[in-house]
Amino acid sequence: MSSQRDTFLVIGGSGFLGRHIVEALVARGDPVAVFDIVQRYHDTPFYSGDISDQAQVSDALRKSGASCIIHTASPTAGLQDPALYWKVNVDGTRAVIAAAQENRIPKLVYTSSAGVVFNGQDLIDVDERIPLPEKPLDAYNESKAKAEELVIAANGVDGVLTVALRPAGIFGPGDRQVVPGFAKVLKEGRSHFQIGDNTNLFDWTYVGNVAYAHILAADKLVPQPPSTPEHVTEAFETALPT
């Protein structure tokens, strides 16, 4: 854990995952504010804004006094709107990075998605070393991959340390996409189709665990102390009793 407590700005903090991150931070006593285009809760400081507007993000960073950004904002998956995905996920994430650099925010944690490496084929026992597919699955995943690339490339630039996490499917209280989507399919009687031979597997993670992973990532995102110069190490070793 970092020696100094952070003040957090959770971007997308009105959303499913963002809200769980906010609640977990509040539970451990950390100062936290939310930046989002919609306000759903009224128990933490709230900054209304769109991440594609750098000035709005910068303003919220200054007013909240944040030292760590957790950026979970995105349009939901599955929309037929590539331009919106590009505007929010790519241009918006670029604006978040620029605002972080402008305000010398030490830490930026970004929620990417496991979908960035999925091209429709089975993925078994893979980890983050697997390359991105040549052809992205769809506009949502393409924009998430590009945003992730921007976040990783920004690591260490202008005093900002960055990390990106790739959750797969997230489930739990407050979910507005997955389980409601399943229920809608059932309700509309659209359940007579089967893909594969009924042995398909998919990774799911409980939302509380995904939230916890973000907080652990934030806690671990601390600058390494400068390495000890060689001559000091040598002098120390010489002074050691044999």
Site residues (vs ligand NAD, CB under 6 A): 12, 14-18, 36-38, 50-52, 72-76, 88, 92, 111, 113, 144, 167, 169-170, 176-178
Active site residue 144: yes
Which residues have a Cβ under 8 Å from the Cβ of 242 and sit 6 or more positions away?
Answer: none
CA distance 117 to 113: 9
Residue 146: CB minimum distance to ligand NAD, A: 13
Residue nearest to ligand NAD (CB): 15
- By beta-carbon proximity to ligand NAD, the closer residue of 106 and 167 is 167
Lateral strand order in the sheet of 8-11: 46-48, 32-36, 8-11, 68-71, 107-111, 161-165
Give the shortest CB-136-to-ligand NAD separation in angstroms: 14
Residue 42 or 231: the one with the smaller Cβ distance to ligand NAD is 42
- Shortest CB 69 distance to ligand NAD, Å: 12
Cβ 91 to ligand NAD shortest distance, Å: 9
Phi, psi for residue 107 in degrees, rounded to 5: -135, 140
∠ Cα 209 210 215 (to 5°): 95
Closer CB to ligand NAD, residue 79 or residue 232? 79
Question: Going by C-beta distance under 8 Å and a sequence separation of 6 or more, which residues neighbour residue 38?
Answer: 14
Closer CB to ligand NAD, 69 or 73, in the complex:
73
The label of the residue with tokens 């050691």 reads: 240
The nearest distance, CB 234 to ligand NAD, in angstroms, is 48
**Comparison of 115 and 225: residue with beta carbon closer to ligand NAD:** 115
Query: Containing H/E element for 205?
Result: strand 204-206
Question: What is the C-alpha R_g of the chain?
Answer: 20
Q: Which of 135, 144, 146, 220 is flagged as catalytic?
A: 144
Angle, CA of 102, 100 and 15, to the nearest 5°:
145
- Nearest alpha carbon to residue 206 among 153, 156, 162, 169: 169
Active site residues: 144
